[in-house]
Structure 1
Amino acid sequence: MVARAEAMIPELVDRQAEVEERSFYAEDIHEKFARNGFYRILQPRRYGGYEFGLDTFVRVSTTLLRGCPSTGWMFTLGAMHTQVVATMFGERAQSEAFGVGDFICPGTAVPSGSAERSADGGWTISGKWSYCSGSPYATHFLGHALIAGVNGASPKPLFFLAPRSQWTRLDDWGRQLGLRGSGSHSITMENAYVPEHLALPGVQVMEADVSGGTPGRDLHGNPEYGGGPLSFTNLGNAALAVGIARGALDIYEILLRERTTLVPPIVARHHDPDYQFWYGDAVGMIGTAEAALLNGVQQWHDNCVRGPAAVTRQEDLRISAICRHVIQLCWDAVANYLMPTAGASSVRHGERLERVWRDMSMLHSHGGISVLLPTVAVRELTRVRMR
């Protein structure tokens, strides 16, 4: 899987501008991903997938992001929710969802819109959900709506899985600072029907307690379909940062080999002590981030293997805290070393580093990554640990 992703890097690099212009990757790239089996990495074998696990998925994800951040972002956030569905939903829901073949499903954690119970036990859902990365080729949408409270009570969330026939993708992506090709369009639903077996009332997936087991663990006999959903999501987010940072490092190395210093003695940059330090330290920082990411994946897997009781809220938050520092290390390497010393000509419009810098900046402004993860999540970790 990883070798197939590596073989695609040159093409992904060459087509970055085209992806931004379209706002998502091309149909032929989508078909290559399908032929390579990328969409089936996390899909259960029971339904025609490979069930290779989170470690393989993360390695493929970071590799594709290294070639084109927009393409890798769109793939990652469209394909990773396979794991969530295979963990949280029952057999009937999974049979329907994965029975279509390749399963591609953007998801959002922020509740929006409304959900009302139908006479047959299903749900009628209306609303708009933004930043649905992966939506252009999606077969489903995974979201949260709000069920009105009774007698003045606060509304509660409804976690639902909606087939493609029940929602509309808006043409509202591509004008942002970066990640213009990530396919992060909005999705709308108007009086859409979602049957009872595709909805989980009262569930907010990022806070879900899976320490008592999950439908997916029982159905597939694979402990990874019982892992912590918050840490799983944040490991995916950390993979985004590592992949983009590795791409920035690739560009910087090319600049060191091809360009000379600005002042005498005029030598190739890779012979200059200052550039040697900047590059070497960035290599160390990004390498440390990647090592922490892969070890975080291993810790997540080990918790799953130990059994449901080991997949606690504390562990979910602790691994998420590791992800917070993976992302920060990648940002620091790019922002403090690579960008300031690459040279102004490297960030002209259309240059590869200029595009990667915009993409990395968009990642750094992601609410879940730069607001909730370094504040709410780490504070809650302390509260849970110390209570």
Structure 2
Amino acid sequence: MTIASDLSEQGFPLPPEPDLTPAEVVKRAESIAPTLVKRQAETEQRTYYAEDTHQAFSDAGFYRILVPRRYGGYEFDIETFFRVVMALARGCPSTGWMYCLGASHALVAATFFGERAQAELFRTGEFIAPTTVVPSGSAEQDGNGDWIVSGSWPYSSGAPYSTHSIHHTLVFPSPEEPPLPMMFVAPRQTYRVLDDWGQELGLKGTGSQTVTFQNARIPSYFAVPGMHLSEAQVTESTPGRALHGNPQYGGGPLGFMMLESAALAVGMAQGALDAYGELMRSRTTLLPPVRGRAEDVDYQFWYGEAAGLIDTAEAAVSGAARRWRELAEKGPAWTTREADLRITGVCRHAIKLAWRAVESYLFPTAGSSSVRHGERIERVWRDMSMQHTHAGLSVLVPTVATRELALTRFTSAEENP
């Protein structure tokens, strides 16, 4: 049965291309990626990718990959989504980052919010929402149970073309009780996007502007009090799993977030390897006997080592994404905190492998003229360096999450299934 007939029989709206396949959407990303390479500088200068690129992504169906079918999305699996992310990041790291951290959160919205909220969130069939996990701002309930939100949330990657945004704040159940985290989703008309991005070391074109609210009214069904995304538990099922009957809307949230970062790191490193390969074909060695780099044993070694590290990182990401899906398919009880942390650990080491390929082999041996400002390898080095300043990657995952894995394993009352 085709997707089109399956949807029409259930009474759901059809997406623009009802018979689009995962293979075709990946092929489209791989075709678009080379066109992004020559636009890297303008993307950094603008601080986000161009309007015509945004339109091309929309036309290709990229913003519907993870949107549920009942709302006109394609509901493809996460492996398909991350293959698209890797392809785009390979062409332009900033573009891939901005796309990923906007479009990926359709899965978050479809997992943790109820049917009433989702009917509004996905009413156009496309969903782009930057998501931050550091609690900020303030939220107070009005007399009707809705929330009045004020504050600023920086590093909101994907904000320029966002349809919504997802953030965290702290709420106070009572004066005597400690504050609780709350995740909320906000429609585009409730917040402003500040023009405050682009002066950082790298990832200058990721559209990671600050999102700010001033007494914005957030309906109660757009908020999940007591929830922090990186610590959310899904072993008792989720609203999305029940609503859509698709286990991927009940997978581990921390592992999914780390898959985002790992897929981006692999794509960026692949782009650096592409640029290094061009140098292998076009440049010669510096010392006699002067020969083409592709004929030199040292350059052959450096290229081969980098390629092996990047291929290993890609295989790790693909395997972790498949494992994430398989655990979700087995049932809620299988997506334990320990399982989520193990996938997180795989992703952390995949990022380290991709970084090692660039930092240890490609960047230092490309030659000074090839790492001048604006050169492709130099840009990847800057962007991956900037990725390593991300608090989640530099602090949370290698320390807190790593220790928590051991604690979860050895202090659990029951063995995992």
Task: For 1:13-28, list aligned pairs within 5 A.
Answer: 13-28=37-52
- Secondary structure of residue in 2 paired with 1:159: strand
- Secondary structure of residue in 2 paired with 1:131: coil
Q: Once the two structures are superposed, what CA deviation does each residue of 1:145-176 show, in whole Å capped at 9, x if it has no partner?
A: 11135334321111100000111100000111
Matched letter for residue 94 of structure 1: Q
1:194 pairs with 2:223: no
8 Å contact kept, 1:104–1:137: yes
Task: For 1:1-387, list aligned pairs within 5 A.
Answer: 1-148=25-172, 150-387=174-411
Q: Which runs of 5+ in 1 are unaligned?
A: none
Instruction: Report the TM-score when normalising by structure 1.
Output: 0.99
Matched letter for residue 397 of structure 2: L
8 Å contact kept, 1:331–1:364: no
Q: Percent identity?
A: 58
The Cα shift of 1:125 comes to 0.7
Query: How many pairs does the alignment contain?
Result: 387
Q: Which runs of 5+ in 2 are unaligned?
A: 1-24, 412-417
8 Å contact kept, 1:39–1:102: yes
Distance (whole Å) between structure 2 residues aligned to residue 137 and residue 320 of structure 1: 28
The Cα shift of 1:357 comes to 1.3
The Cα shift of 1:365 comes to 1.4
Q: Once the two structures are superposed, what CA deviation does each residue of 1:264-297 show, in whole Å capped at 9, x if it has no partner?
A: 0000011111111110011110000000100000
Q: Once the two structures are superposed, what CA deviation does each residue of 1:107-138 show, in whole Å capped at 9, x if it has no partner?
A: 00110011101111110111110100000000
8 Å contact kept, 2:67–2:125: no
8 Å contact kept, 2:183–2:227: yes
Matched letter for residue 132 of structure 1: S
8 Å contact kept, 1:217–1:225: yes
8 Å contact kept, 1:261–1:269: yes
2:5 is matched with which residue?
Answer: none
2:10 is matched with which residue?
Answer: none
- Secondary structure of residue in 2 paired with 1:162: strand
> Runs of at least 4 residues of structure 1 off by over 2 A?
148-154
Distance (whole Å) between structure 1 residues aligned to residue 27 and residue 404 of structure 2: 39
The Cα shift of 1:59 comes to 0.1
Distance (whole Å) between structure 2 residues aligned to residue 386 and residue 231 of structure 1: 20
Distance (whole Å) between structure 2 residues aligned to residue 147 and residue 47 of structure 1: 31
